[in-house]
Structure 1
Amino acid sequence: MIEILLLNFLFLLLPVLTFLIFFEDRLPTRHHKFIYILLSTASMFLCMAYPIKLEVGFIFDLRFVPFLILALYNGYKTVFPLYVVLNIYRFFISGEGIIQSFLFSTVIFLVVPLFTKKYIQLNSRNKVLYAAAAAFFTMFLYLLTLSFQVPINQEFWELTLYAIITYSIAIMIITTLIEKIIANMKARETFIYSEKLNIVSELSASVAHEIRNPLTVTNGFLQLLNTSKTISMEEKKYIEYSLLELERAEKIVSDFLVFAKPQSNNMVYSNFKEEIEYVTNIMTPYANMHQVAIQVNFNNSLYKTFDKNQIQQCLINLYKNGIEAMKKDGGTLYIDVSERKKKIFIQIGDTGTGMTSEEIAHLGKPYYSTKKEGTGLGMLMVYSTISKVKGKIEVESEVGQGTTFLITIPV
């Protein structure tokens, strides 16, 4: 019995190890769900193929561990294939308990994914505890239904206790490993992204200054040439086009300059009140042009040291993006600044067009923009600035409903 139980546990570890060794860094994120389904199905199938046969006539295995985990982490669409495979293979195995297995798996399939959204928002420790609690209660209910078909004696209660403990411990171990893998993936992504931002920061200042000087000279000569009376109107038109392109190039160079390291003469110790008021005042006329109302709620007493110019430009970019997302029909731009547990929370939300999950995933990458005329440097600057104050950005968006940026800055 112990050997088969350990074999079942090995089958549970197999998907985790396989994903970690072969798929973690080799497949795009969008393909991960397919791999989760495939590996979890294989794990569940193997657990059912090598069950523990009890003297009371029933079989016991750890098939519901991958089923529960996938239901908690990914919801209905991902766990549905497991639900189908589980019941088809259980019917093929036959024997006592087919009806109970079908009813129990159906209850898990219908109920557990209802908590997926709340579950994935928990921290790692709570995820492990909640998964263990889910295993405990589901196995207790399952064994309770079996008690109506078998004689209730001391042996039955011993088996029940062992089964509940085994499932709880197994799901705690697997969930802990999954959380470690997720944490490592996020840490690696954060490190790589930070390194990219550091390179941009180091190169941008020197390159931008070198480019700006000849741009300024060229702009000056073209403006002088444009005032000449010896050139035709058609030639003046070409000069005006050249000046417009130079102005656009100057804007891109200015965007690069904000990636420079924070300057000591710009550093302030502030609670963001002055910066929010300044950006709100200068962006209000632009918002009025697009029938957008700006609502600000400020409730923060925590202070932080930062580069004032960079933070103001960061907020301007977020305000501007929110306003432009509502320029067709107008709307409201919400700004909420609050504090909680030694952290400053800046929430900027709009009621605009919203974004898809793929668009959100690409935010902050160089030259990626959801606007046709955008360069993507604005959002790259936003992520770079928040990274410099050790903060993080979370984005919630729904197409047609709007977008909310939540900036968390530790003090």
Structure 2
Amino acid sequence: MIESLLINFFFLLLPVLIFLIFFEYRSFTYNKFIIFLLTAISMILCMEFPIQLEIGYIVDLRYIPFLIFALYTGYRYTFFLYITLNVTRFFIGNEGFWQSLLFSTIILFVVPLLHQWFIRQFPKRRILCAIIVAVSTMIFYLTSLIAFFPELNGEYWTMAIHTLITHALVMAVITILIEKINANREARELLFQSEKIDLVSNMAASVAHEIRNPLTVTNGFLQLLRQSQTITKDEQKYIEFSLIELKRAEGIVSDFLAFSRPQCANMVYSNLQAETEYVKNIMTPYANMHKVQMQLSFRNNLTLQYDKNQIQQCFINLFKNAIEAMRETGGTLSVDVIEDVKAVIVKINDTGIGMGKEEIAQLGRPYYSTKKEGTGLGMMMVYSTISKLNGKIKVESEKGKGTTFIINIPAA
């Protein structure tokens, strides 16, 4: 029995090992078809080599990959895994096919309902949730077997205890490995992002001041030239265009300078209330101009240490982007500041045009912007500021339904 259990455990580890060796560093790493294929192979192997208990019963671990896949991916791909499971079970034969079909059908309709809630949880909660789902599923399965037992003797309870313990432990190990892979991926992306931000910061410190001086001089001369009485209307128009472009160039230089400033000039200990209310007040006229309503909810007593000016600029950039995402049809910008376990959560939600997964993945990268006239430096400044606070940014968005920025900052 121990040998069969270890073999089944290896079958469940096999997709993780293949994933780490061949796919983790590739661009299509998180293609769901690849994950589906690896999960299906693991599940089929578990069914082909079941565990023979000493008391005479046969069990396998097929439902562990099935449950994990359902929790992490939802209905769409889980349906194909459901088909794979039952086709394989049909060809294996023996008694119990109809019971397996009924049980897997119930799982298909129930477990993927948890997907959206499951994904939003923190890693430790996801691990705990996966264990609870596995144990609950097996309790339901074992309860359904009571109809086939004339009496609940010691053999049944021995099988039940072995099954529950095995599924709980194996589910815990596999989900911990999955969460570790996800954590490594996020850490790697943060490292790449940090390196890019440092590169831009170094360029900003050495170049921005040198560029600003000639821009200021040129702006001054154009202002004087605009007041001349001898220039034509066409020349006046060209000067206006030049001044507009100079103003835009100065804005880009100011964004560059935001990266080179260390977080020390205006450090404060606070709970973000003053900063969020200040930014809401100064952005309200801009929101009204685009028919956007602003709602602020504040429920936080935890204290953070941060640069007041930089955190205000961070919120200004996020609020401005959210408002501009709704400028065609109007909408509502909701800002919630709440406290979690030793962390402050800032949720900024709009009802605008939304973004696709590829656009979300590019956010915060140098010179990437979803706006035609954008430079991407404002969003880079946001990621840089939150990174300096050891915080994390999570983005949830869907085309046509809006975007939510979830900022998690550890409390001081």
With normalisation by structure 1, the TM-score equals 0.89
Aligned partner of residue 297 in structure 1, secondary structure: strand
Deviation at 1:25, TM superposition (A): 1.0
Matches within 5 A, 1:96-135: 96-135=95-134
Shift of 1:205: 2.4
In the alignment, which residue of structure 1 is the partner of 2:350?
350
Report deviation, 1:139.
Answer: 2.2
User: What letter corresponds to residue 36 of structure 2 in structure 1?
Assistant: I
**1:275 to 1:77, Cα distance in 2 relative to 1, 3 A:** same
Kindly indicate whether the alpha-carbon contact (under 8 Å) linking 1:202 and 1:261 is maintained by their aligned counterparts in 2.
Answer: no
- Residue 284 of structure 1 is matched in structure 2 by 284
Look up the equivalent residue of 1:47 and give its one-letter code.
Answer: C
Structure-1 residue corresponding to 2:307:
307
Measure the CA separation in 2 of the matches of 1:169 and 1:302. 36
Checking the alignment, whether the CA contact within 8 Å between 1:100 and 1:142 is kept in structure 2 is no
Q: Deviations over 1:243-290 (max 9, x none)?
A: 332222221111111112336443334433433343233222222222
Pair 272,148 (structure 1): closer, same or farther in 2 beyond 3 Å? closer
1:140-155 paired onto structure 2 within 5 Å: 140-149=139-148, 152=151, 153-155=153-155
State the SS of the aligned residue for 2:297.
Answer: strand
- Secondary structure of the 1:348 match is strand
Unaligned ranges ≥5, structure 1: none
Kept in 1, the 8 Å contact 2:50–2:58? The answer is: yes
**Alignment partner, residue 368 of structure 2:** 368
Counterpart of 1:179 in structure 2 is 179
Offset of residue 113 of structure 1: 1.0
The CA deviation at 1:180 is 1.6
Question: Are residue 79 (structure 1) and residue 81 (structure 2) matched?
Answer: no
Partner Cα distance (2:215, 2:89) in 1? 73
Q: State the one-letter code of the partner of 2:217.
A: V
**TM-score of the pair, normalised by structure 2:** 0.89
Gaps of 5+ in 2: none
1:138 aligns with 2:137: yes
Q: Which residue of 2 aligns with 1:337?
A: 337
Deviates more, 1:17-26 or 1:166-175: 166-175
SS at match of 2:367: coil
1:162 is matched by which residue type in structure 2?
H
Distance in 2 (alpha carbons) for counterparts of 1:270 and 1:293:
26
Instruction: Summarize the alignment of residues 242-321 of structure 1 with structure 2, pairs less than 5 Å apart.
Output: 242-262=242-262, 264-321=264-321
Q: Is the CA contact (8 Å cut-off) linking 2:346 and 2:406 kept in structure 1? A: yes
Is 1:47–2:46 an aligned residue pair? yes
Specify whether residues 6 and 241 from structure 1 end up closer, same or farther in structure 2 by C-alpha distance, changes over 3 A only. Answer: same
Q: Deviations over 1:142-162 (max 9, x none)?
A: 233334335544334323332
- Count of residue correspondences: 410
CA distance in 1, matches of 2:45, 2:336: 51
CA separation of 1:76 and 1:253: change in aligned 2, threshold 3 A: same
Query: Quick one: percent identity of the two aligned structures?
Result: 60
Q: Give runs of aligned pairs for residues 22-33 of structure 1, distance below 5 A.
A: 22-28=22-28, 31=31, 33=32
- Please report how far the alpha carbon of residue 225 of structure 1 lies from its aligned counterpart in structure 2 after TM superposition: 4.6
Q: Does 1:162 align with 2:162?
A: yes
The equivalences for 1:374-393 within 5 A come to: 374-393=374-393
1:177 and 1:407, CA in 2 relative to 1: closer, same or farther beyond 3 A? Answer: closer
Q: Supply the distance in 1 between the matched residues of 2:302 and 2:128 (Cα, whole angstroms).
A: 33
Q: Which moved more, 1:170-179 or 1:282-291?
A: 282-291
CA distance in 2, matches of 1:270, 1:58: 62
CA contact (8 A) 2:130 2:172 kept: yes
Distance 1:347 1:55, change over 3 A: closer
CA distance in 2 between partners of 1:255 and 1:230 (Å): 37
Secondary structure, counterpart of 1:7 in structure 2: helix
Give the letter aligned to residue 395 of structure 1. Answer: V
Partner AA of 1:392 in structure 2: K
> Shift in Å at residue 40 of structure 1?
0.4
Shift of 1:226: 4.6
**Maintained 8 Å contact 2:23/2:29:** no
**What residue number does 2:89 align with?**
90
1:42 Cα deviation from its structure 2 partner: 0.7
Q: Which amino acid aligns with 2:47?
A: M
